[in-house]
Amino acid sequence: AAGVAGAAALGRPAAAAEGDDAILKPQPWATSLGQPVAANPYGVPSKYERALARRQSPGLTQVAAASVSFAPLQGMFGIITPSGLHFERHHQGWYDIDPAKHRFMVNGARPEFVKTPKVYTLDDIMRLPPVSRMHFIECGANTGMEWGNVAVPTVQYSHGMLSCSEFTGVPLRTLLEDCGADLKAAKYVLAEGGDGSAMTRTIPIELVLSGEVMVAYGQNGEMLRPENGYPLRLVVPGVQGVSWVKWLRRVEVGDKPYATKDEAVHYIDLMPDGQHRQYTSIQECKSVITSPSGGQMLLDKGYFNVSGLAWSGRGKISRVDVSFDGGVNWVEATLQTPILSKCLTRFNVPWNWDGRPAVLQSRAMDETGFVQPSYGQLRAVRGTRSIYHNNAIQSWKVADSGEISNVQIL
Amino acid sequence: AAGVAGAAALGRPAAAAEGDDAILKPQPWATSLGQPVAANPYGVPSKYERALARRQSPGLTQVAAASVSFAPLQGMFGIITPSGLHFERHHQGWYDIDPAKHRFMVNGARPEFVKTPKVYTLDDIMRLPPVSRMHFIECGANTGMEWGNVAVPTVQYSHGMLSCSEFTGVPLRTLLEDCGADLKAAKYVLAEGGDGSAMTRTIPIELVLSGEVMVAYGQNGEMLRPENGYPLRLVVPGVQGVSWVKWLRRVEVGDKPYATKDEAVHYIDLMPDGQHRQYTSIQECKSVITSPSGGQMLLDKGYFNVSGLAWSGRGKISRVDVSFDGGVNWVEATLQTPILSKCLTRFNVPWNWDGRPAVLQSRAMDETGFVQPSYGQLRAVRGTRSIYHNNAIQSWKVADSGEISNVQIL
Amino acid sequence: AESFPGVGRPATPAEVKAWDIDVGPDFAGLPKGSGSVDRGQTVWESKCESCHGTFAESNSVFTPLVGGTTAEDMKTGHTANLRRTDFPQRTTFMKVATVSTLYDYIRRAMPWNAPKTLSDDDVYAVLAYLLNLAEIVPSDFTLSDANIAEVQAMMPNRNGMTTAHALWPGPGFGTEANKPDTGNTPCMSNCKPKAEQVSILPDYAWNAHGNLAGQNRAVGPVRGMKTGPDEAEA
Amino acid sequence: AESFPGVGRPATPAEVKAWDIDVGPDFAGLPKGSGSVDRGQTVWESKCESCHGTFAESNSVFTPLVGGTTAEDMKTGHTANLRRTDFPQRTTFMKVATVSTLYDYIRRAMPWNAPKTLSDDDVYAVLAYLLNLAEIVPSDFTLSDANIAEVQAMMPNRNGMTTAHALWPGPGFGTEANKPDTGNTPCMSNCKPKAEQVSILPDYAWNAHGNLAGQNRAVGPVRGMKTGPDEAEA
Ligand code: HEC
Ligand code: HEC
Ligand SMILES: [Ca+2]
Ligand SMILES: [Ca+2]
Ligand SMILES: [Ca+2]
Ligand SMILES: [Ca+2]
Ligand SMILES: [Ca+2]
Ligand SMILES: [Ca+2]
Ligand SMILES: [Co+2]
Ligand SMILES: [Co+2]
């Protein structure tokens, strides 16, 4: 790894006695005319922000159209993920579907399950009573590379299959009722995508009946991005991303689970006894410190804010604790508001770095009382080959050089 | 104006007896391989969404670098404004400032007001304890063209100087305390921009002391956009946008208001008696229906969702009522959660359009009990030449053709 | 207050001087110096008139700076034309109550395309020239830090501002009102005899904002109406 | 339920047929038809082997489809190698419990670059070929809707799945557990004798993700460490 940069890297040039040229000398932005409004009818980030981009993890997959790009959590703030940085997971590539040609169908696995199978256009869906809610989406395989040992250097790669948006759409329940679905007989529904993979997943009827599952078209105030399922995707709060079927074209009401490829060959969790857990869906309570984090370096001793994200597929975050000594002692972090169900919660905690080695951890608790497990606790039950649903406490080791690396602590 | 389009425009081609070709024929997105992940390391909207863009109102200003671009509220969802569609207001153009060269200074109008005037780099500011909060920002001149009469066709131009983001930054109070500011002697602070206009505004000390005013660098999870003040802007919740000084370079602690150009020549409200109200800052409770709205047309009778936004510079929205007959009778709308202080609140209400003329209005109430006034009530006190702070009830007239136009009702 | 070791550093006096350029209504911050109307005319003609017009009368980039005030206004401190609803425009001098505002603003922001390039004396001079155009000072006047308070006493709309309103949070101003001056009642039915429509969109305004069909999504509950010309293709 | 006049329309039978292509573990939705291993080999060689390899053994785009199962597994319905921690990979046939899954998936999604282009009989055929490669059916086998249930009874990992876990909301599965199987206690001090570090980032992995300095902002509380090669300039 690298050595710590000198004082120059502080962004604080040793000011001459007089002062800092950035203040004493006229800067172009203060002494000239800037660019007009609507120079960008649709705006983009500063050119100085290009480091914050979605990236693949080299070697994770062989083909980029059945792969993942990770969100750069190491440089993000608050809870909203800008849609341009939303993580991607495609199985057969992404499409920019013409919304005028997109259709959504509801049918029954057996005729008696749905009185009138129906077809909806976007015109139809967008006329129905909508809801807007903020939710996290996490891939079931997030942190999957780290089940057995440390594998990746930064939080982008260890936890970056995680995003959070305000979604707008129609409760799936409303649509099923509109078709006369038999919601007593229904035990599961199948959601199917309009993409090449025609991605299919069995969806818990409990979440449909609760009104939480939505057929969404809106994401952070605008339409879904093509990479995220434009023009329609399923939103299944608290459940792993693969169930949030993108480019959604059909929902079928049934009474048996479907054992589709991505719930019979992948997104199944291998236990130490050789059995696979099937239909594992809920993303249990988890958290991670995003700043400072792996691959970063502290340039100075002194005051720092330690910031991170916590979330639970079972409801609201109730508390987050942070340790600076690898989990021996803990302090309670401040939670940012709003604290919403099945949504990211941002936490912050102050830290005075004295220049000595430290190990930073965060441990989240949700409203059910569940406390995020350590690697020791998780592996004791589930071993190391589960791939999915790794919600262990993450550790970042701060060296005396200020360099931060990914380590695992039991 | 235009005639109503025929059935073809419904996006529902008269299906052949067999069914719709969009379903019966294979579509390219279902039968081919899509694009890889990270094709766009920073993603952009679908090409089918180009209609939703920031736009100037022709004739409003003569020079585009001292002008406004309006957010396309007519096609937006929920409460979060995607940063690419955030409205713009610049006085001397916008800049993409190199954050490594940006400085933030705190000083006192008199030496005794600030013990140690200080300079902060971005490195410094971003180490301090941050807060993330969602707030609306509305230009004081929003709806200003409509004080006297109807002037513009759509909600983009009538109300589009309005946006809402999750901001992250450091409470200004924290920074003032860090410099040893005398917060008892302080009565006002001056905020100053680093742009050509070096925009300056007097900021209420009450909001600074409350912790609400923040020196922000984050907007919706990433850094501020250049058009919105990258790398630092002031966030002054509840207060008109001009006070949210962009490209913020300095805050001065003082005990007198500063009567800067944009609080002595503009952003002053002309009353019928020829006096101007100065230092008008709070954006009072207001709402508007965004869909359906002016310049749109309903293609069909039947069920519609009426959706809009409500906000108040004095706190939370407590209720929104909607009228379909120009304010004679009202029904209560459903408020989306979360309902946050000094933040947009989305409301929805169902409507069965019977094909007859209607006038749609929304009327918001905030937690102080203030109810949004009608044009009659507003003009009775403030006349028609105020330019700023027009929070009257907006009316959209639906003709029997389905076409919707902007009208004013007393 | 919490302490934040390692964060920030004291500003040097030169740094504060470089950036603390504000000038308040009490002339706090006003630099020493002076400038004559004559010298101001030279500055104006080389650096200002291209945008604002020879007599600051131009409407092409902005409302005119001068005009609309009278000798009588200079006595009362109220621009009488602000009471007229038929007066065509509100110039800068009709509105501005504080001469400090102009000194401060010209120094920080003008010329628009080269802000902060005038010397302090040039700011005095060009402001003297504007005050002369506005018929507040004679053509042989020299404005300076010593006599600017006397000019303030002649500003035509110096008494034209009020802070008696509820749009400032808290008791910042001595004279203010803190109760909202408008409002409504949350009546739910039969709230008035009828909906009285007082204004509709003028015909020409329908097409003045381009083709509204192209400003709305092509799917969804509604379409945009076909109106003015399409936007140029991107 | 509310009613929404004017919204949506009934689906035609042809439309439902066109899109309702799912095949469940109980073979609901399975089309009539058949295909031999021989015919499957033809389909495989022309449409599949370029990606998956002649014997579905290729690692180049994906984990191999076949391998790792035994005749013994076909008796127990448990892939024994899944219990070994030293077994190098988990092929599709080692994991999949339900043969319906393969029929359904190949029909909807393969070939990867031309999904939904196989006839139902071709799907039977190519699946028969894969079952033969996996040594589940003989080389003269013809798979059909009539005998697919018999194949199901031979799937090597057919008993390899459990729903006894708390990660499905509500009582969807008869056999499940509803209590989380892991967890922690919110201890605040002296929670353990020491922090036991069991894994660190291997040296080669530091540089495997490019130059981390370029993946972090150039201002802020931290910098990215200088590691591997820079990304190509955009
Ligand atoms: C290139 C064009 C241009 C030049 C040159 C220029 N100005 Fe301006 N001026 C403007 C514009 C545009 C505005 C409005 C800026 C805004 O919207 O905040 C303005 C505003 C002003 C105002 C405030 C008017 C008001 O009512 O807000 C004053 C005073 C002024 N200019 C004086 C000057 C002086 C003095 C100079 C020369 C030293 C000058 N200007 C040169 C374009 C120009
Ligand atoms: C152009 C490359 C390509 C071709 C041709 C191709 N496949 Fe695939 N196949 C893939 C990829 C990539 C995946 C993984 C897709 C994903 O991630 O969901 C896959 C997945 C599969 C799977 C599921 C494996 C698992 O464990 O998830 C099966 C079964 C399969 N292919 C069979 C076939 C058959 C049969 C054909 C020919 C009819 C075929 N493939 C042609 C690339 C290809
Ligand atoms: Ca089916
Ligand atoms: Ca000052
Ligand atoms: Ca330091
Ligand atoms: Ca007040
Ligand atoms: Ca209809
Ligand atoms: Ca369960
Ligand atoms: Co996934
Ligand atoms: Co404004």
Residues of B in contact with A80 (CB under 8 A): 80, 165-166, 220-221
As to burial, measured by CB atoms within 10 angstroms (0-12 exposed, 13-18 middle, 19+ buried), residue A68 is: buried
pLDDT band at B5 (very low <50, low <70, confident <90, very high): very low
Mean pLDDT of the B183-205 span: 97
Query: Cα–chain-centroid distance for residue B395?
Result: 19
Ligand 3 centroid to residue D30 C-alpha, Å: 9
Q: What is the full DSSP assignment across A277-323?
A: E-S--B---EEEEEES-TTEEE-SSEEEEEEEEEE-TTS-EEEEEEE
Strand ranges (E), B175-301: 188-193, 200-204, 214-219, 222-223, 233-235, 248-254, 269-270, 276-277, 286-291, 296-298
Q: How far is the C-alpha of A291 from the C-alpha of A307, rounded, in Å?
A: 5
Name the residue among B288, B294, B291 with its Cα closest to residue B372. B288
Name the residue among C183, C188, C190 with its Cα closest to residue B369. C183
Q: How far is CA C177 from CA B203, C180, C181, in A?
A: 18, 8, 9
Ligand 9 centroid to residue B260 C-alpha, Å: 54
- Class level of CATH domain D26-152: mainly alpha
Residue A49 scores a pLDDT above 50: yes
Instruction: Give the β-pairing of A248-254 and A104-108.
Output: parallel
A152 Cβ partners below 8 Å, 6+ apart?
Answer: A57, A145, A146, A158, A294, A406, D201, D205, D209
Q: Check if the beta carbon of residue B293 is closer than 8 Å to that of residue B155.
A: yes
A229 or A3, higher pLDDT: A229
Residues of A in contact with B192 (CB under 8 A): none
Residue B320 scores a pLDDT above 90: yes
- Give pLDDT, residue D233: 43
- Give pLDDT, residue D38: 98
Q: Which one of C44, C46, C52 would you pick to mutate in the ligand 1 pocket, going by the greatest count of ligand atoms within 8 A of its CB?
A: C52
Q: Which domains are assigned to chain A?
A: 88-277 (3.90.420.10), 286-407 (2.60.40.650)
Residue B112: phi, psi to the nearest 5?
A: -70, -10
Structure-block tokens of residue B196? 């050509």
Is domain C22-152 classified as CATH 1.10.8.190? no
- Give pLDDT, residue B11: 45
B107 Cβ partners below 8 Å, 6+ apart?
Answer: B114, B117, B250, B252, B253, C11, C16, C19, C20
Q: Which helix (H) or strand (E) holds C40?
A: helix C37-47
Q: How far is the C-alpha of D83 from the C-alpha of C17, rounded, in Å?
A: 74
- Give pLDDT, residue B15: 59
Number of alpha helices (DSSP H) and beta strands (DSSP E) in chain D: 9, 6
- Give pLDDT, residue D94: 98
| Furthest-apart CA atoms within chain C: distance in Å | 68
Residue B16 scores a pLDDT above 90: no
Mapping DSSP to helix (H, G, I), strand (E, B) and coil, where does residue D212 land? helix
Mean pLDDT of the A34-52 span: 98
Tens of pLDDT, residue by residue over A194-219, are: 999 999 999 999 999 999 999 999 99
- Give pLDDT, residue A2: 36
Q: Check if the beta carbon of residue C14 is closer than 8 Å to that of residue A19.
A: yes
Name the residue among A167, A139, A172, A166 with its Cα closest to residue A61. A139
Question: Which ligand 2 atom is nearest residue B33's CA?
Answer: 1
B161 Cβ partners below 8 Å, 6+ apart?
Answer: B68, B70, B71, B87, B89, B138, B139, B141, B142, B241
Place of tokens 């649903």: A389
Residues of A in contact with D164 (CB under 8 A): 277
Distance from CA of C177 to the nearest CA of A (A): 33
Q: How far is the C-alpha of A74 from the C-alpha of A85, rounded, in Å?
A: 12
Residue A256 scores a pLDDT above 70: yes
Tell me whether residues B359 and C180 touch, CB distance under 8 A.
Answer: no
Question: Which ligand 2 atom is nearest residue D111's CA?
Answer: 41
| Ranges of each domain in chain C | 22-152, 197-228
Neighbours of C75 (CB within 10 A): 10
Mapping DSSP to helix (H, G, I), strand (E, B) and coil, where does residue D105 land? helix
Q: Which helix (H) or strand (E) holds D36?
A: strand D34-36
Q: Check if the beta carbon of residue B179 is closer than 8 Å to that of residue B125.
A: no
Q: How far is the C-alpha of C46 from the C-alpha of C42, rounded, in Å?
A: 6
Please give chain D's pLDDT, 234 residues, in tens: 678 999 999 999 999 999 999 999 999 999 999 999 999 999 999 999 999 999 988 877 778 999 999 999 999 999 999 999 999 899 999 999 999 999 999 999 999 999 999 999 999 999 999 999 999 999 999 999 999 999 999 999 999 999 999 999 877 676 556 789 999 999 999 999 999 999 999 999 999 999 999 999 999 999 999 998 887 643
Q: What percent of chain A has pLDDT over 90?
A: 95
- Take atom 43 of ligand 2 and give the residue whose Cα is closest: D112
Amino acid A28 reads P
Structure-block tokens of residue B184? 């008892």
Q: How far is the C-alpha of D108 from the C-alpha of C168, rounded, in Å?
A: 63
| HSE-CB for C214 with a 13 A CA cutoff | 14
**Hey, is the C-beta of D18 within 8 angstroms of any chain B C-beta?**
yes
Residues of A in contact with B220 (CB under 8 A): 78, 80, 82, 220
- Give pLDDT, residue C39: 98
A322 or A5, higher pLDDT: A322
Among the partner residues C9, C22, C168, nearest to B279 by beta-carbon distance: C168
Among the partner residues D169, D212, D225, nearest to A206 by beta-carbon distance: D169
- Give pLDDT, residue A60: 85
Distance from CA of A380 to the nearest CA of C (A): 41
Q: How far is the C-alpha of A33 from the C-alpha of A410, rounded, in Å?
A: 58
Q: How far is CA A299 from CA A121, B221, C11, C139, in A?
A: 55, 24, 21, 61
Tens of pLDDT, residue by residue over B57-95, are: 988 888 999 999 999 999 999 999 999 999 999 999 999
Structure-block tokens of residue B3? 């005639």
- Give pLDDT, residue B2: 36
**Hey, is the C-beta of B184 within 8 angstroms of any chain A C-beta?**
no
B·C CB contacts under 8 A: 356
Q: How far is the C-alpha of B197 from the C-alpha of C106, rounded, in Å?
A: 10
Q: Check if the beta carbon of residue A140 is closer than 8 Å to that of residue A241.
A: yes
Residues of A in contact with B55 (CB under 8 A): 38, 41
Q: Check if the beta carbon of residue B359 is closer than 8 Å to that of residue B324.
A: yes
Ligand 6 centroid to residue B363 C-alpha, Å: 24
Tens of pLDDT, residue by residue over B122-150, are: 999 999 999 999 999 999 999 999 999 99
Q: How far is the C-alpha of B27 from the C-alpha of B34, rounded, in Å?
A: 12
Structure-block tokens of residue D183? 């967890």
**Ligand nearest A89 Cα, by number?**
9
Tell me whether residues A195 and B30 touch, CB distance under 8 A.
Answer: yes
As to burial, measured by CB atoms within 10 angstroms (0-12 exposed, 13-18 middle, 19+ buried), residue A400 is: exposed
Q: Check if the beta carbon of residue B278 is closer than 8 Å to that of residue B264.
A: yes
Tens of pLDDT, residue by residue over B218-260, are: 999 999 999 999 999 999 999 999 999 999 999 999 999 999 9
Ligand 2 centroid to residue D62 C-alpha, Å: 8
Mean pLDDT of the A166-194 span: 97
- Give pLDDT, residue A244: 98
Distance from CA of B307 to the nearest CA of C (A): 11
A·B CB contacts under 8 A: 352
Check residue B327 and give left, alpha or beta (phi > 0: left; psi -120 to 50: alpha).
left
Structure-block tokens of residue B182? 């005398």
Name the residue among A129, A155, D116 with its Cα closest to residue B26. D116
Tell me whether residues A126 and C219 touch, CB distance under 8 A.
Answer: yes
Q: How far is the C-alpha of B329 from the C-alpha of B318, rounded, in Å?
A: 19
pLDDT band at A16 (very low <50, low <70, confident <90, very high): low
pLDDT band at C176 (very low <50, low <70, confident <90, very high): low
Q: How far is the C-alpha of A69 from the C-alpha of D209, rounded, in Å?
A: 13
Q: How far is the C-alpha of D234 from the C-alpha of D232, rounded, in Å?
A: 6
Residue A14 scores a pLDDT above 70: no
A230 or B12, higher pLDDT: A230
Structure-block tokens of residue B99? 């954050």
pLDDT band at B175 (very low <50, low <70, confident <90, very high): very high
Name the residue among B176, B96, B83 with its Cα closest to residue B128. B176
Residue C225: phi, psi to the nearest 5?
A: -75, 145
Tell me whether residues A17 and C12 touch, CB distance under 8 A.
Answer: yes
Q: How far is CA A257 from CA A203, C123, D100, in A?
A: 8, 79, 12
Residue A300 scores a pLDDT above 60: yes
Mapping DSSP to helix (H, G, I), strand (E, B) and coil, where does residue A107 land? strand
Neighbours of B139 (CB within 10 A): 23
A184 Cβ partners below 8 Å, 6+ apart?
Answer: none
Structure-block tokens of residue B391? 């929070």
Angle made by CA atoms A72, B34, D99, in degrees to the nearest 5: 100
Residue B192: phi, psi to the nearest 5?
A: -130, 135
Name the residue among B95, B101, B98 with its Cα closest to residue B119. B101
ipTM of this model? 0.96
Neighbouring chains of A at 3+ CB pairs within 8 Å? Answer: B, C, D
Least confident of A181-195, C46-60, D72-86: C46-60
Strand ranges (E), A139-240: 162-171, 188-193, 200-204, 214-219, 222-223, 233-235
Q: How far is CA A218 from CA A234, B76, B116, C109, D158, in A?
A: 11, 8, 48, 41, 41
Distance from CA of B46 to the nearest CA of C (A): 11
- Give pLDDT, residue A9: 42
Tell me whether residues A45 and B222 touch, CB distance under 8 A.
Answer: yes
